[in-house]
Structure 1
Amino acid sequence: MRPHIDPQIYWIYWNGAGSFFICAVPLTSSILESAKVRLVINIIHKEPTRCLRVRGILSGVVALLAFATSSLATLVHHDAAFRPDHILRVTAQNYTAACTTRYSVLVNGTSPGPELRLKEGQVNWIRVYNDMKDENTTIHWHGLTAFTAPFSDGTPAASQWPIPAGHFFDYEVKPEIGSAGTYFYHSHVGFQAVSANGALIVDSHDRPYHYDAERTLLLSDFFNKTDKEIVDGLTSTNFTWSGETKALLVNGQSRQATNATGSCQLGSISVEPGLSYRLRFIGATALSFISLAIESHDVQIIEADGHYTKPLRTTFLQIGSGQRYSVLLTAKSEEELKKLNSRQFYIQLTTLERPESLTNFAVLNYSGGKKADLRTVPSRPPLPKAKIVEGWLDYELEPLQENKGFPTLEEVTRRIIIDVHQNVSDHTIWLQNGYDRVQSFPKSPYLVDIYTGKLDTEETYERAISRGNGFDNITRTFPANVGEVLEIVWQNQGTFTNGGLDVHPFHAHGRHVFDIGGGDGKYNETANEEKLKSAHPVLRDTSVLYRYHQKTKPLEPSGWRAWRIRVTDAGVWMYHCHILQHMVMGMQTVFMYGDRKDILAQSSPVDAGYLTYGGSAYGNTTHSPVVRHYFD
């Protein structure tokens, strides 16, 4: 049975004063023409979000063509006949991991949640139920572009209202052609992502590398405190740190040497002798920056953040929160295993750049021997203690195919430098260009305010440009026009009080960026251009801003990371440190690409059900949602 589609006709109204209004109006042929005109005029005044205002006849024709294209998006009633491709149910309950029980937010009753597999170019409807009693939630599809379905990025206060308790939301997700790779999904509310996460794999018919099988290793943290205790402590005037990571989990499994009792086990990855494997590593940690190595095995990196790379042999990986890598591993032959006198090898994971270093283990287990021992934790690590390598892979990792769209320095229209440092006043916060961002600001999502006309995109852009640093301190956004080429520099600074520094894995929503490297001190354009002459920047969505020193003078530059991006798609996108504690403490900012006209032309008028908290686009037990289909 086909879902019900609400018919909509796009009417053009000329007000005689230089402006066209193109409005989405459900009309029947039985209404008189004069009544239709009065209805359109009434909508212009009372429901402006259903209309696009365009000045001038030529602009009106261009906007009409854009509207005609975008009007292919249809409004669909997701009633009992609708069948989502995937269903995720978010709950909160006691859950045991690493031999410890903690009240956690889970997806389909587990952490991590079920692995989702999507295909390039194929539309997927993913229904997310919020089965919690008193908390909001969302799901963000980390690393996937979402510029065409604007409410599917899963970022509360930026691109959508969160899903209220007892409601569900249908996300429309279509991986682009060429995006085959490793991703993950997670909640974007508070500290929920520490446990509410899961692997997301995008497949394609083309496979540039041969391997016999693949394995996914999702890395996450475990904390004894609950999400609420952590958030309350981080945001209180009586600042209380979350505490350090208590366990590193591999696919939800971990066992400490101190676990004398309990049924918890080490994570286990099974392989067959002589076969080749693609190992997909997902950095779903809340805090930990992990160095990882496999006993007696080297690997070749072939993918970073959803993009294939030229093969690069390495003995270890450094994985920050939000980063993903695929590597090729050739399993030992039976003859090699006999020489090594083992069929079980430890995967050693160590936290970097933290006051307390933690080393945990998982197991690479070869079949054909006795049952794997998943309870014994080595008393002495089999591999040397890991040390930080600043700038790991910078200027070294190369795309498998040439990135023809890489912007040169001559094409850059603006450089935006974002100074980041910690500040202590009445409470401890992280600032970007002097401002923090918390989920209570703004009061409604930026994208909603753009649709309803509450946020003037042109005024926002003018204020940002007049300030000289590209930042509008009123809306706390970095606006840019479609067609601009931005160079974004994240500049680490010493803490305002004592000059302390930290490491930050920065994540870009919306579109991947060209990572043009990083270094110590203050960004130097001339010196970096020399390095880029012999390098081939890769597209990333998460890259690490290193500190290079533990401490420097207050507000003294110490470490930078630079990106370049062509602004081709309108939308509202979060750019933030992916450490959950830092996000809660304000280390988030918003980039607003395109003006209101660009956003409306790209996505068509939006039903009011998306523009109110718990609106008709959000279903519950009493009603099914009315949903915009952008890819029909």
Structure 2
Amino acid sequence: MRLSLPLLALACLAPAALARTVRVHLDVSLGTLWSDGTPQVHSALVNGTSPGPALRFQLGDFILVNVTNSLEYANTTIHWHGLSMMLTPLVDGVPLVTQWPIAPNRWFEYGFKAEQVGTYWYHSHVGLQVMSAHGAFIIEDPDDPYADEYCQDVPLMVGDTFHRPQEKILAGLYGEPFQWIGTAKALTINGKMIGGVCNETEAAAQEVSCADRPADGPAEEQPHVIHLDYEQTARLRWIGAQALMYQTIGVMNHSMKLIAADGTYIKPMEISAVEIAGGQRYDTLLTGKSEDEVKTDGLSGCYFIRSESRWRESSAASAHLWTGLLAYPSCDIAKALSSLSAATSEKILSDAVPKFGWLTAEFEPLEGAKQEDTFPSDAEVTRRVYIDAQQIPAGPSGKGSRWANNGVVYAEESNALQNATTDTPYLIQIFKGEAEAPSYSRAMDPNQGPSGYDPVSKTWVAKAGEVIDIVIINNASATGHQVEVHPWHRHGDKHWTLASGPGIFSDAALAEARASGFKKPIARDTSVIYAGPGATINPGELLPSNSSGGWLVMRTKVQSADLGAFLLHCHIAPHSAMGMSMTWAMDVDELRTSQAMKAYSE
């Protein structure tokens, strides 16, 4: 069947128990977005919208997704963000690593089993298409420990918007001189915000007029509205689909209960706002007020949702934005929107200065909830890998810019961005013997450079049975001498955030961080390395280029079912495009004999 589900799920429906085969069709095409009133032309859309349709499945479903590329200028793929792809690594959606990119006017069918419950998402993995070609991907839990507590389930795609075509932004990132994307023009929820006004100058620069804006466009007239009855509880699934901006989001006069991170149930925590970086997901429960409480508030049942940027200098337009509305039955939406201004009510988010790490050091798994795997102890760790991540000058003139990991810049194959599909995906090359296979012995040779890296296959290598601590160092830019926040996303199986901290990494710093937090690390797929000394939000604080402003330790357990080639990359879209990515070859000795590989190749 064709699946196209609305963003608001039906209330209080329990998932069916029987496994099914579910067919979905997604079409990636070009369109113009008007998220904040000003156009962004040549945006990649899914089924004509951004975000695309929210997809819901049941645990155990076999999922077949037919993706058609209706783009005029580029290839595309779809990555299933957060899903382990155990035994199906060839449908992970990374062009020319796991699959041939989908050429214009062609289609590709992905097939995999829903084996993880929770909140995930899908997005293109070509160029900067992720900025708009994305949607929610939910696998419902038949044993949901909170099922009796909520009657409404709402995916909320957290976004940001830029008033330039994606291909021009990409050209600037690759250019000499380097041209940065700049701060976001607006923050959005489900592609919408409140109070957007069309900028005629920026529209004209894209050869569009403000007069072309659809009458029912998703700016000030149509924010995303969460309709909530008195004393009803809603499960809000916050999905970090933003290209750049780390955000804090709160609902006026309401607190929430945080219950899950990246599809993992955690010990519940009361929060006033959620902090989220690109690639991350957080599930919260928001319980509605009584009718008397709503009357006492004097807001006519209309409570605005506010998004604010953190860890990055913001434009006046994107620093503090009303991005949605929580509406009780008494709320007159049109009246509330007409009376809203930037100064409406007090600022609802209290922490103007961001807290290093937010609350992540306090996260613990929910006791009694089924976990995908158990946290490996220190005694099980077989080795440690160090990754120095740094922005460096690039190009013949030195005026370009790239991101390097231990001096290596990941280059998405040029053919993935163009129309040619003649190159063979890396996994298929390995299976057919057409490429030098990753070598564990070569990667572990101390004469070859950093431990774990194979310079011949240009992959980081791991084998089944290993438990690896990956230490990522947030080095100061070689040109700007400052550091940024980076959400690191691991394709394939989840990892555990062992700890993170400011400044320079050392065993003493790790021990100190673990003594004050991270008592019971949770499994997740996107962990943030924060900026301490030298953060870009402090313009005058510069660091030597060989110094660091923060670090992150990710513990990963390699199992036999993890075989494949999977990326580990920053989920800030421009950074990933600029090379802040690396390929990990997992359980390489089994790649050529894998039945999944054989079937796919044939």
Q: TM-score, normalised by structure 2?
A: 0.83
Establish whether residue 557 from structure 1 lines up as the match of residue 496 from structure 2: no
Q: Which amino acid aligns with 2:224?
A: G
Deviation at 1:267, TM superposition (A): 2.4
Whole-angstrom distance in 1 between the partners of 2:461 and 2:351:
44
**Offset at residue 346 of structure 1 (A):** 1.5
The equivalent residue for 1:577 is 570
- Which residue among 396, 419, 429 is the counterpart of 2:362? 396
Distance of 1:543 and 1:325 partners within structure 2: 12
1:355 maps to a residue whose letter is E
Contact 1:318–1:392, Cα closer than 8 Å, also in 2: yes
SS in 1 for 2:454: coil
Which 10-residue stretch deviates more, 204-213 or 434-443? 434-443
Q: Which residue of 1 aligns with 2:419?
A: none
Deviation, 1:468, is 4.1
Q: Decide whether the 8 Å contact of 2:155 with 2:236 is kept in 1.
A: yes
1:56 is matched with none
Aligned with 1:242 (options 181, 184, 196):
181
1:568-607 equivalences under 5 Å are 568=559, 569-598=562-591, 600-601=593-594, 603-607=596-600
- Residue 419 in structure 1 maps to residue 363 in structure 2: no
**CA distance change for structure 1 residues 164 and 365 in 2, over 3 Å: closer, same or farther?**
same
Partner of 1:505: 487
Match of 1:183 among 120, 123, 148: 120
- Measured in 2, the distance between the counterparts of 1:94 and 1:594 equals 43
Report deviation, 1:387: 2.6
Gaps of 5+ in 1: 1-82, 610-632
With structure 1 as the length reference, what TM-score do the two structures score? 0.79
> Does the 8 Å contact 1:307/1:399 carry over to 2?
yes
Letter of the structure 1 residue corresponding to residue 469 of structure 2:
E
Query: Do 2:80 and 2:120's aligned partners in 1 also have CA atoms closer than 8 Å?
Result: yes
1:369 & 1:507 partners in 2: Cα distance?
A: 40
Most deviating of 522-531 and 573-582: 522-531
Distance in 1, Cα, partners of 2:295 & 2:554: 48
Task: Pick one of 15, 35, 44 that aligns with 1:105.
Answer: 44
Separation in structure 1 between the aligned mates of residue 338 and residue 122 of structure 2, nearest angstrom:
29
Shift of 1:596: 4.3
Whether the 8 Å contact between 2:80 and 2:93 is mirrored in structure 1 is yes
Moved more, 467-476 or 376-385: 376-385
Instruction: Kindly indicate whether residue 412 of structure 2 is the aligned counterpart of residue 439 of structure 1.
Output: yes
Total equivalences in the alignment: 525
The alpha carbon displacement at 1:420 in A equals: 0.5
Query: Are 1:196 and 2:133 counterparts?
Result: yes
Q: 1:161 to 1:475 in 2, by over 3 A?
A: same
Q: Is the 8 A contact 2:50 2:191 kept in 1?
A: yes
Partner of 1:284: 241
Whole-Å separation in 2 of the counterparts to 1:242 and 1:492: 21
* Cα distance in 2 for residues equivalent to 1:401 and 1:524: 32
Specify the code of the residue in structure 2 equivalent to 1:424.
P
CA distance in 2 between counterparts of 1:97 and 1:320 reads: 20
Counterpart for residue 341 of structure 2: 378
Aligned partners of 1:141 and 1:183 also within 8 Å: yes
Does the CA contact (< 8 Å) of 2:302 and 2:332 recur in 1? Answer: no
The amino acid of 1:198's aligned partner reads G
Deviations 1:295-354 (A, max 9, x none): 111111001001111111111111000000001111010010011012111111011122
- Distance in 2 of aligned mates of 1:367 and 1:546: 41
1:437–1:155 Cα change, 3 Å: same
1:359 maps to a residue whose letter is H
Contact 2:403/2:578 (8 A) holds in 1: yes
Match of 1:369 among 319, 326, 331: 331
Distance 1:377 1:161, change over 3 A: farther
Partner SS for 1:581: helix
User: Distance between the aligned counterparts of 2:592 and 2:491, measured in 1?
Assistant: 16
For the 8 Å contact 1:111–1:196, the answer to whether it is kept is: yes
The letter for the 2-side match of 1:494 is: A
C-alpha distance in structure 2 between counterparts of 1:165 and 1:377, whole Å: 44
> Which residue of the other structure, out of 115, 120, 133, is the alignment partner of 2:54?
115
Task: Give the structure 1 partner of residue 293 of structure 2.
Answer: 336
- Which amino acid in structure 2 is aligned with residue 593 of structure 1? M
The percentage of counterpart residues that share the same residue type is 34
Q: Which moved more, 1:425-434 or 1:107-116?
A: 425-434
Aligned with residue 29 of structure 2, among 87, 91, 104: 91
Alignment CA distance shift 1:441-1:371 (3 Å): closer
- Aligned equivalents of 1:332, 1:394: Cα separation in 2: 28
Is contact 1:498–1:553 with CA below 8 Å preserved after alignment? no
Q: Judge which range, 336-345 or 594-603, deviates more.
A: 594-603
Deviations 1:257-295 (A, max 9, x none): 655997523322211111111111011000010011111
Q: CA deviation at 1:465?
A: 3.7
SS of the counterpart of 1:605? helix
Q: CA deviation at 1:479?
A: 0.6
The alpha carbon displacement at 1:221 in A equals 1.4
Query: Rg: which structure is higher?
Result: 1
Alignment check: 8 A CA contact 2:438 2:457 kept: no
SS of the residue corresponding to residue 583 of structure 1 reads helix
* Partners of 2:439 and 2:83 in 1: CA distance: 30
Q: Does the aligned pair in 1 maintain the 2:89–2:563 contact within 8 Å?
A: no
**How far did 1:459 drift?**
3.4
